[in-house]
Every structure is written in C-alpha cells, then in structure tokens.
Structure 1
Amino acid sequence: MKGVMIQGTASDVGKSLIVTALCRMFANDGKRVVPFKSQNMSNNSYVTRDGKEIGRAQGIQAEAAKIEATVWMNPILLKPRSNQDSEIVYLGKSLKTLSGRGYRDTFYEKGLDVIKQSLDQLSSEFELVVIEGAGSPVEINLKDRELVNMKVAELAGVPVILVADIDRGGVFASIVGTLELLEPDERQRVAGVIINKFRGDISLFQDGIDWLEKKTGIPVLGVLPYVENHMIDGEDSLSISQQFTASKKGNLDIAVIQLPFISNYNDLDPFLYEEDVSIRWVKQASEFGTPDAVIIPGTKSTINDLNTLKDNQIDILVQNHIDNGGYVVGICGGYQILGEEIIDEAGSDTGIANNIVRGLGYIPGRTIFYEEKETVRAAGVYHENTGLSANRKLEGYEIHLGKTVLHQEGCSFLSLENGKEEGYYGRNGQIIGTYLHHLFHNDEWRNHWLNQIRKSKGLHTKETTYIREYLDKRYDKIANRMKEHLNFELLNDIINKWCSK
C-alpha cells in the first residue's frame, strides 16, 4: 500500500488538521487520495450518504480529498457514554456498549480483522492513503493491544511522520522521549518529524531543527505555523473550548450549555462567521449570565447530562431565561431535555430499563429510548404551521436513539422529504427543538433566527452570510499555508521510496 501515517507525541497536537491539509495537497496534485483512521474516540460524528456513522474528522478529511466519505475510512468509532463505557460503532452501525476493559479483552481480534479489511478496500480504490493515529504511540499500558498507531502502520506497510506541538512546551523532550520509548522496529518506521503550532519567527528555530536532526537522525519535514480559527473540526475534547475561546465579542451573546457528553459540537461552527455573534460555553451556573439565546446541543448520554444540568442548577437558569422571553434551541439530546419526560424503555441511554426522568417541560412531548439508533441524512422545509416560507430547504443529518412524540398538534418545526413531521416550533420561534444536526449550517435559516434576536434587542437586521462559499476554500487555504512550511517534495520521496521497498 502506498501512503503515510501521521502520529503524534500526544493528543491534540494537530494530527487531524495536518491529515486534512495533506489530503487536499495530494488531491490538488491530481492523486486519488483517501483518509483513514482505524479507531476514533469521539462523540463528534459524521453521517455518510448511505446513513452510516463515522468520526467527524474523517468525513471532513474526505471532503478535503474531494471524495465521498465511507465507513472504510473509519471502521471503528468509540462514542463515550460515561467515564467507563463507550458505544462501539462498527462499520457505521452501533454494535454494543463496552467498558474500556471489556473492549480490550474481547474486541481486539475483531478490530484487527476490520482494519485489514478496510485497508484492503481502500487500497483497491485509491492510489494513496493518509492515515491518522490517535493520542501517542507510546502509551505503555496500552501498547500490547493497540489498534490505532504502530500496529496500523505495520498492517498498512507505510512510513510514519511524528507530529509534536511546540505551543504546549517541551517539544524536544516530547519528540526524543517518544522515539526512545518506541521498539527498535517501530522507530525504524519513523521517517520524518513535523513540529506544529509554531508562533513567531521560524528562522529563529533553525538551531533547534539542526539539534533534533543530529540527535535523532530523522529529518524535520517542516515547522508549521499556529493557525488561528482554521474552522476545521477537531475531534478531541481538548479542541472544544479552544475552538471558540478566540471567538470575538459581538452584540449577540449566545450561551451554549457544555454538557459532559456533548456530541457534534460542530453544529455551532457557523456562528464563528457571524461578525456580531459571540459564542461561549456554560458549564457552571456562575457562567450563565444574561445571554440573548441559549443552545442545548446534542449529547451521547441525555439523561445523565440532564441530571448534571439539574445538579448544577443550570436547569433553573434556562427556565428563567425562557420565561423572560429568551430564545432557546435544543438539538437532538437538547431537544429531548427541553421536553416533559424521558423514558429509557430499553435502557439504551442509561443502562437501566424503564428509567423515567422529568425534562425541563417547555416542549409538549416525551422521548422514549429504544434499542435501534437512527442515522440518516435528512432534508425538508419549514412546517406550514410555523408561518415561514415553505420553499426554503433545510438539510442536515440525524443521529439518535430516542424518538420524541409531541402531544400537541400544529407545532412541528419541519416537514421532511420522507413525509414525516419533525421537531418543535413554539412561541413564534422562541423555543425550537429538532433532531436535525447542522441546522445552523443552513445559511438563510441561521440568518432568520439571528435576525429575530437582533430585532428583539432593537438592533438592525443583517444580510445572510453564506458560509458555504467558504467551506471548500478553507481546505485550499489551510493546505497552501502549510505547504509553504513543509518539505512536500521530501515527503513524497519518503512515501515513494517506502512503497518500493
């Protein structure tokens, strides 16, 4: 197999972003390139065209590679449901929930088989694979049964490029220490080093490059700059707050409830393009303040996160916000939380069958959790009862176990193309609940919703910001920026020579 694997000295060193950029670089060079990550651990997921679920990062990387995403690009997705257990999504479908110990003890051989199958499938369709590792390749307590780093490089037969994050400090120790902890055959596979997130004058770092190359005997392929607000989705939990920390302060204050098991937080990305909007996370009651709007996002563990909301008394603040005329949108798990009642009939949310919890009570309906998960791309128009123009098409995707049934007629949000009614639209749009992820990626809808809030504050309305025009351009922008600081020719030579061995 012809390709390369990007591994890191730690989590959140920028592996996903670098793989995304490389996919676009190779695609722009006319190569049929494909991303791959054997095993993802993330609640930030992506629904393929055929309704399968993979890690969000691989969906984004497929877009950068100018191809359609498939399950072969991420055959194993682990979605944390608690501090101990994760749902296993296997080839795009929910398989079972296991503890970390249970997963290591029972799933290793099955994991190896599907990784080999996936690599074979991708190598038959594409000429080059760019593989992303996870965390660090030298987690000593996990190495004997790992499915994400050197074992995958061995199966694929590709060289490894090691990435280190200089922004967090200790870059020399992290690189040399990682190499020292690798087995001799693993170290031989490391063909290059990339230093990421550099700030300042790169020429001042030349002595550091020289020392590293002399010490390790491995070439430094590039010192990549720190890229602010790159708008490429992260997958690590470390990336969530960082992505919005640098968000500007605008006239519109939107508070997002940071649920412990938040999922698909990329639903919020479009607000980063709105000049007068600031997004901030709320984990504690003291952080709530007086927002103009509240968004309760998706979650992998609705009842647990609802209980956390209540324990932290954030539920009271959300209720006061709504009672005082504030806007609120609940997406997926947030939609369920805003309802009157949640029934875990199958025990698929909490592990306790028939567990019943009261919701916040602002949406007239109840949610029942079943065993089968629904993953589907969806599209529709505003329901006629909203009073909004029905010729505006909205698109997104659904990922949920629970089904919400409203017991009040004439309050649905959308009429879907499959003939079903979806979501809740109440108080002339003050309260909205929906299962449609990427709701706010629909530019005209997002503008309509923001203009409602602007009017309520006595502010001027604004024209629609069409962020879709920027989405593909951002891949080129990131790829070109990184290519300026990367020895792309040497990287190609490494890949070609390794393939010919």
Structure 2
Amino acid sequence: MRGVMIQGTASDVGKSLIVTALCRMFANDGVKVVPFKSQNMSNNSYVTKDGKEIGRAQGIQAEASKVEATVWMNPILLKPRSNQDSEIVYLGKPLKTLSGRGYRDTFYEKGLDVIRKSLEHLSSEHELVVIEGAGSPVEINLKDRELVNMKVAELADVPVILAADIDRGGVFASIVGTLELLEPEERQRVAGIIINKFRGDISLFEDGIHWLEKKTGIPVLGVLPYVEDHMIDGEDSLSLSNQFANRKKGNLDIAVIHLPFVSNYSDLEPFLYEEDVSIRWVKHPSDFGNPDAVIIPGTKSTINDLNTLRERQLDILIQKHIEDGGYVVGICGGYQILGVEIIDEMGSDTGIPNKSVAGLGVIPGRTTFYDEKETVRAAGVYHENTGLTTNGKLDGYEIHLGKTQLHQQGCAFLALENGKEEGYYSKNGQIIGTYLHHLFHNDEWRNHWLNMIRKSKGMHSKETIYICEYKDKRYDGIAEKMRAHLNFEQLNDIIHKWCSK
C-alpha cells in the first residue's frame, strides 16, 4: 500500500496535528488521502455518520482529508473506566471491558486481524494512507505485543517519520535514544525526522539539524513551528492540560469540574475563541472561586466521579452556586450527576448490579444504566416550553449508557427530530442538563447562553462568533504553515520510493 506513518518520541509531541496537516496538504494536492490510527486510548471520541464511535483525532483528520469519517480509520478505541480497566470499542461498537493485563493477554490476535482488515479496506478505496502512532515506539515493556507503532508500520509496509517535541527540551536525546532502542529492522524503516513545536530563530538551530543528520544518517524533513490556537481538538489528558492552561483571563468566568474520567472535553473548546470568556478546570474546593457559570462535563465513570466530587466537597459549592443564582450546565454524565438518583441496574457503570447512589438533586430526574450504549448523531430545536426561539437547528451527538427520566412535565430542553424530548431546562436557562455533546459548537446557542450570563452581570451582549465558518480555513492555514517549514517534496519522494521497492 502507499502510505506513511508518523511516530513520536513520546506522547503529546504533536503527532495528531502533524497527521492532520499532512492530510490537508495531500487533499489540497488532489490526492485521495485517508487517516488511520490502529488503537486510541481516549475518552474524547467522535461519532461517525452511521452512529459509531472512533477516536476524536481521526474524526478531525477525516475532515482535514475532506472525507467522511468511518470506523476503519480507528478500529480499536480504548476508553478508560478506572485506573485499571478500559472499555474496548471495536469497529465503533462497545465489545467488552478489560484490564490492561487482560487486554494484552486475550485481545492481541483479534487486534492484529482488525488492523489488517482496516488497512486493506482503506488502501482499496484511497490513494494514500497517513498513519498515526501512539506514545513511543520503544516502550520496552510493551513492545512484544504492541498494536500501535512499528507492528502497524510492518503490517502496512510503509516508511516511518519520527516526530519529536523541541518545546519540552531534550530533543536530541529523545531522537537518538529512540533510534538506539529500535531493533535494526525497525530502525531501517525510519526514513525521516521532524522536529515539532519550534519557537525562535531557526538559524540558531541549523547546526543541530546537521548534527542530527550526521549522527543518525536520517534526513531532517522539517522543523515545524509551535502553532497557537490551532483548533484541532485534543485527544489525551496531556492535550487537555496544555490546551486550557494558558487561557487568558476574561470577564466571564466559567468553571469546569475536572472529573477523574472526564470524556469528550472537546465540548468546551469553542469557549477558547470567545475573547471575554475565561474557562478553567476545577479539581478542588480551593480552585472553585466565584464563577459565573459551572459546567459538569461528560464522564466515562459517572458514579465513581460523583463519589470523587462529593469526597472533595465540590457538591456543596455547586449547590451554593446555584442557590446564589449562578448558571450550571451538565452534559451527559454531568447531566446524570445533577439528578436525584443514579441506578446502575446492570452494573455497566460500576460493575455492581443494582448499585444506587443519590445525585446532587438539582435536576428532578432519575438515571438508570443499562447494558446497551446509545451512540447516535442527534439534532433538534429548542423545546417550546423553554420559551426560546431559533431560526435553525442544534446538532451534536449522544454517547451514553444511562437513560434519564424526568419526574415533572414541561421542562425539556430540546425537541429532537426523532420526536423525542431531550434534556432539562429550568429557571430561564439557569439550570440545563443534556445528553447532546457538542452543544456549545452550535454558535448561535453558545452566543445566546453567554449573552444570558453577560446580561446577568450588566455587560453588553456580543455578536455571534461563527467558528464553524472558519474551522475549515484553519485546516488550510495549518497545512500552509507546516508546508512552509517541511520538505514536502522529499517526503513525497520517500513515500514513492518505498512503495516502488
């Protein structure tokens, strides 16, 4: 097959961003390109058009490639449910929950089989496959049964480009050390090096480039700049921390409860582009402060995270915030946490059938967990009982095991296209609960909600920022910026020669 694989010297060196940029570069050149990552470990997921679940990064890379996302782009998704166990999402559907040891001992051959099938499927329908690795290819304790790096490159028989992050320091040691720890046949597959996240005067790094090429015998294909506000959704916890840590202070203070098993935090990323909004993560009572609004995001382990929230006494602060007139939104697991009771009827959330816990009691509803997960794209309009009007629909997606039954009528948030009522809306929008992920990616709704808060603070309303209109332009902008610092012709030559061997 014709393709290339981006591997990294560590996690969060920028592999996902590089693959996204390459996909757009090739797509803009008229190549039928497609992204691939054999296995993701992330609770930040993406729902395909046919209602299946893959890693968020591959959904974004599909958009950059100008193709529809499918399960073949990420056949295995591991969603952590505890420090030991992860749910295996296999070809877009939940398969089972296993420990790390159980996964390595029982799933390896099944994993290899679906990776082979996925690569065959993608290569039969596309001209080029851009593959993303995971973590480092030289995790010695995992190498004998790995499904994400050199084994995938071997199955696909593609060259590997090794990416390193200069921003974190130690870039020479990370590159040379990684190459030294590879087996000889693996090292021969590394055909290029990319230095990522460079800041400053590139002329001061030219000696370093020459040293690396002489030391390793491998060409440095580019030194890519550090890209701020790239709008490429993050995937892992490192991305989460980095993306929100340096957000400038704004007049609107939004506190997001940092649940241990937070999922789909891409729900929050649109706030990064609202100039007067300060969004921050809250882990402990000392972080809470006096926010204008609180968001409780989704979680892969609702009851465990609810217990943690209580242990940290954040429940008391959230309830007082509401009593004082503050706004609160619960999304998916956050919606469930705000309810009166959660019943794990099948043990699908905790592993303990019929376990029941009290919620925060803010929303008059009971959530029951069942075996079958609901994964679907959804769209609708404001429910007539909200008193809100809209000229268009709100859309997003649902991923949840629990079903929430409200105890009172006339308080639904949305009227969905499938005829169902969804969510909870109370006190003129002060309290909202919903299963709709990407709610705040709906630009007019996000603007309306923020303007409600602005008005409550005596601030002027603002016009809608239409993020969706220029997100596609961002893909082009990132591709152009990366291409200016990458020897794209040499990369193409590497791919062509390897394929022709």
TM-score normalized by structure 1?
0.99
Matches within 5 A, 1:83-122: 83-122=83-122
Rounded to whole Å, the distance in 2 between the matches of 1:465 and 1:10 is 36
Report the counterpart of residue 426 of structure 1 in structure 2: 426
Query: What's the secondary structure of 1:464's corresponding residue?
Result: coil
Aligned to 1:206: 206
Q: In the aligned structure 2, how far is the partner of 1:282 from the partner of 1:394?
A: 28
Work out the CA distance in 2 between the residues paired with 1:465 and 1:438. Answer: 16
Alpha-carbon offset, residue 231 of structure 1: 1.4
Alpha-carbon distance in structure 2 between the residues aligned to 1:246 and 1:471: 21
Please tell me the residue identity of whatever aligns with 1:200. G
1:61 match: secondary structure: helix
State the partner residue of 2:340. 340
Which letter maps to 2:82? S
2: CA distance between counterparts of 1:118 and 1:4? Answer: 15
Structure-2 separation of matches of 1:59 and 1:411: 34
| Structure-1 residue corresponding to 2:13 | 13
Alpha carbons 1:75, 1:92 under 8 Å: kept: yes
Q: Distance in 2 between matches of 1:95 and 1:175?
A: 37
Please name the residue that 2:370 is paired with. Answer: 370
Matched residue, 2:124: 124
CA distance in 1, matches of 2:236, 2:404: 29
Q: Distance in 2 between matches of 1:133 and 1:193?
A: 14
Question: Which letter does structure 1 place at the counterpart of 2:127?
Answer: E
1:403 maps to 403
What is the aligned partner in structure 1 of residue 67 from structure 2?
67
Q: Please tell me whether the aligned partners of residues 7 and 149 of structure 1 are also in contact (alpha carbons under 8 angstroms).
A: yes
Q: Which moved more, 1:229-238 or 1:332-341?
A: 229-238
Amino acid of the structure 1 residue aligned with 2:393: K
Provide the rounded CA distance (Å) in 1 between the counterparts of 2:313 and 2:209.
51
State the partner residue of 1:445: 445
Looking at structure 2, the residues matched to 466 and 219 of structure 1 have their Cα atoms a distance apart, in angstroms, of 41
Residue 246 of structure 1 and its aligned partner are, at CA, apart by 2.2
Structure 1 segments, 4+ long, off by >4 Å, are: none
| Cα separation, 2, equivalents of 1:307 and 1:348 | 16
Letter in 2 for 1:318: I
Secondary structure of the 2:405 match is: strand
Q: How does 1:347-362 map to 2 (within 5 A)?
A: 347-362=347-362
Aligned residues: 501
Gaps of 5+ in 2: none
For residues 92-146 of structure 1, give each alpha carbon's deviation from its aligned partner in whole angstroms, at most 9, with x where no partner exists.
0000000000000000000000000000000110000000000000000000000
- Find the residue that maps to 1:347 and give its secondary structure: coil
Q: Aligned partners of 1:130 and 1:258: how far apart in 2? A: 33
Once the two structures are superposed, the pairs formed by residues 61-460 of structure 1 within 5 Å of their partners are 61-389=61-389, 391-460=391-460
Note if contact 1:383-1:390 (Cα within 8 Å) is conserved in structure 2.
no
Q: Residues 363-404 of structure 1, C-alpha deviation per residue, up to 9 Å, x if partnerless?
A: 000100000000000000000100011543100000000000
Secondary structure at 2:458 match in 1 = coil
Letter of the 2:447 counterpart? N
CA-to-aligned-CA distance 1:274-294 (integer Å, 9 cap, x gap):
111110110111000000000
Cα distance in 1 for residues equivalent to 2:47 and 2:80? 18
| Runs of 5+ consecutive residues of structure 1 not aligned to the other structure | none
Structure 1 residues 213 and 390: CA distance shift in structure 2, 3 A: closer
Distance 1:491 1:406 in 2: 57
Partners of 1:384 and 1:390 within 8 A in 2 = no
Secondary structure of the residue that 2:341 maps to in structure 1?
A: strand
Distance 1:473 1:258 in 2: 31
- Secondary structure of the corresponding residue to residue 188 of structure 2: helix
Q: Distance in 2 between matches of 1:163 and 1:171?
A: 10
SS in 1 for 2:167: helix
Identity %: 86
Partner SS for 2:135: coil
1:70-111 CA distance string (max 9 Å, x none): 000000000000000000000000000000000000000000
Alpha-carbon displacement from aligned partner over 1:14-57 (angstroms, at most 9, x marks no partner): 00000000000000000000000000000000000000000000
Q: 1: distance between equivalents of 2:483 and 2:236?
A: 24
User: Match for 1:75: what amino acid?
Assistant: P
TM-score (norm 2): 0.99
Match for 2:39: what amino acid? Q
Cα deviations by residue, 1:457-501 (Å, 9 ceiling, x for unpaired): 000111111111111011011111111110000000000000001
Aligned to 2:466, what secondary structure does the other structure show? coil
